[in-house]
């Protein structure tokens, strides 16, 4: 459960981001209004370049850039420091948990994620998740497979290509539910776009290689850590600021499922239990499809 103070901190962070984004937009609009003739330049980067050719444009442009740097640099540093502190706290929490329970050994978890990544990307791009069924939480597998099949029927396909894994970092651990939930930041270089099969037209995303940040939600189902949700990377600071929960029912799984449950039987029950606050049916790829339709 999120503490009130943490919730307020996340809300303040979101509000600050909105205010600063609005300020930046206002400054850019002011620049264009101050130099209206330059706005008739052309597409692409020509518009920006032409604005800075005139003397007035150079002066106003320099002021705008200076103000943006002064305003945004503290925010960028604040985000970076907040995220790094959260990652450090989560690592410390996992180390303490791993001393009593090997499920929480971060080296083993990060290795599993690194092994899962190419399999998951390949399966998604093929439109068939059956090869990675054991890597996905049961509800997540069913929802995503249905979505991929529907896209195929609609003449769409999701092209995913993993070129390089840059970083795998823990953001937040939550043991308040019956199953432990771990949020992990994944930074890769790759391709992820949705296209029309018949026309070859990109419907979402882009074909070129790009730096992609996502957050993987992992749930341990008493057998192994499995992927239960993929979020966009915008949530990293919010999750890093969450207080880690390290004393919940998930640390005593067999008690949670009853004295008679053990081993495979408990794991079978776990597949259908709510994993903390994870919404196993709400996922990035499905949300993206809903926005497009």
Separation of alpha carbons 254 and 266, rounded Å? 7
- Mean pLDDT over residues 257-266, rounded? 44
Burial of 28 (0-12, 13-18, 19+ CB in 10 A): middle
Q: Which of 179, 147, 143 is nearest to 257 (CA)?
A: 179
Above 90 in pLDDT, residue 283? no
State the pLDDT at residue 12: 52
Which domains, ranges and CATH numbers included, belong to the chain?
A: 4-292 (3.10.450.240)
The span from the CA of 180 to the CA of 3, in Å, is 18
Residue 114 pLDDT greater than 90, yes or no? yes
Per-residue pLDDT, 37:
43
What's the confidence (pLDDT) of residue 21?
53
Q: What is the largest CA-CA distance in the chain?
A: 80
Q: What is the mean pLDDT of residues 23-40?
A: 47
pLDDT band at 200 (very low <50, low <70, confident <90, very high): confident
Res. 255 pLDDT band, cuts 50 70 90:
low
Q: What is the pLDDT of residue 245?
A: 86
When pLDDT is averaged across residues 270-282 and rounded to a whole number, the result is 40
Q: In what order do the strands lie in the sheet with 156-174?
A: 156-174, 181-196, 202-220, 225-232
Task: Report the pLDDT averaged over residues 247-261.
Answer: 62
Give the Cα separation of 255 and 34 in Å (integer). Answer: 69
With a cut of 60, say whether residue 126 has pLDDT above it.
yes
- Per-residue pLDDT, 26: 53
pLDDT for residue 162 is more than 80: yes
Which of 101-120 are b and which e, b meaning 16 or more Cβ less than 10 Å from the residue's Cβ? eebbebeebeebbeebbeeb
Q: How far apart (Å, rounded) are the C-alpha atoms in residues 273 and 229?
A: 15
Given its phi and psi angles, is residue 139 left (phi above 0), alpha (psi -120 to 50 degrees) or beta? alpha
Is the pLDDT at 242 greater than 50? The verdict is yes
- Residue of 278, 77, 253, 101 lying closest to 172 (CA atoms): 278
Lowest mean pLDDT, pick from 194-203, 251-260, 273-282: 273-282
Mean per-residue pLDDT of the chain: 73
Which of 123, 148, 224, 230 has the alpha carbon at shortest distance from 179? 224
What's residue 239's pLDDT?
82
Structure tokens at 41: 């330049």
Half-sphere exposure of 65 (CA within 13 A, CB side): 8
Label residue 14 by pLDDT band (50, 70, 90).
low
- pLDDT, mean of residues 17-46: 46
* Percent of the chain with pLDDT strictly greater than 90: 34
Residue partners of 57: CB distance under 8 A and separation at least 6: 31, 34, 35, 38, 51
If you count them, how many residues does the chain have?
293
Strands 156-174 vs 225-232: parallel, antiparallel or unpaired? unpaired
Residue 4 has pLDDT above 80, yes or no: no
């Amino acid at each position: 459960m999120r503490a009130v103070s943490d919730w307020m901190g996340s809300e303040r962070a979101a509000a600050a981001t909105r205010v600063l984004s609005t300020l930046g937009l206002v400054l850019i609009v002011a620049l264009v209004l101050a130099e209206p003739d330059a706005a008739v330049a052309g597409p692409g980067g020509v518009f920006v370049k032409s604005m800075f050719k005139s003397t007035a444009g150079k002066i106003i442009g320099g002021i705008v850039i200076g103000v943006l740097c002064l305003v945004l640099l503290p925010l960028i540093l604040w985000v970076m420091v907040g995220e790094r502190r959260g990652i450090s706290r989560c690592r410390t929490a996992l180390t303490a948990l791993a001393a009593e329970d090997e499920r929480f050994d971060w080296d083993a978890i990060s290795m599993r994620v690194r092994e899962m990544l190419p399999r998951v990307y390949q399966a998604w791009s093929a439109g068939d998740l059956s090869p990675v069924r054991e890597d996905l939480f049961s509800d997540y597998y069913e929802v995503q497979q249905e979505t991929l099949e529907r896209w195929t029927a609609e003449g769409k396909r999701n092209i995913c290509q993993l070129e390089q894994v840059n970083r795998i970092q823990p953001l937040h651990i939550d043991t308040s539910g019956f199953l432990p939930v771990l949020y992990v930041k994944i930074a890769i270089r790759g391709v992820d776009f949705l296209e029309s099969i018949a026309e070859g037209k990109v419907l979402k995303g882009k074909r070129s290689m790009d730096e992609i940040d996502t957050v993987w939600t992992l749930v341990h189902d008493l057998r192994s850590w499995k992927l239960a949700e993929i979020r966009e990377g915008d949530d990293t600071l919010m999750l890093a600021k969450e207080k880690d929960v390290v004393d919940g029912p998930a640390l005593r799984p067999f008690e949670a499922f009853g004295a008679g449950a053990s081993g495979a039987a408990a794991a079978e029950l776990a597949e259908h239990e709510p994993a903390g606050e994870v919404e196993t049916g709400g996922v990035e790829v499905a949300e993206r499809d809903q926005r497009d339709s």
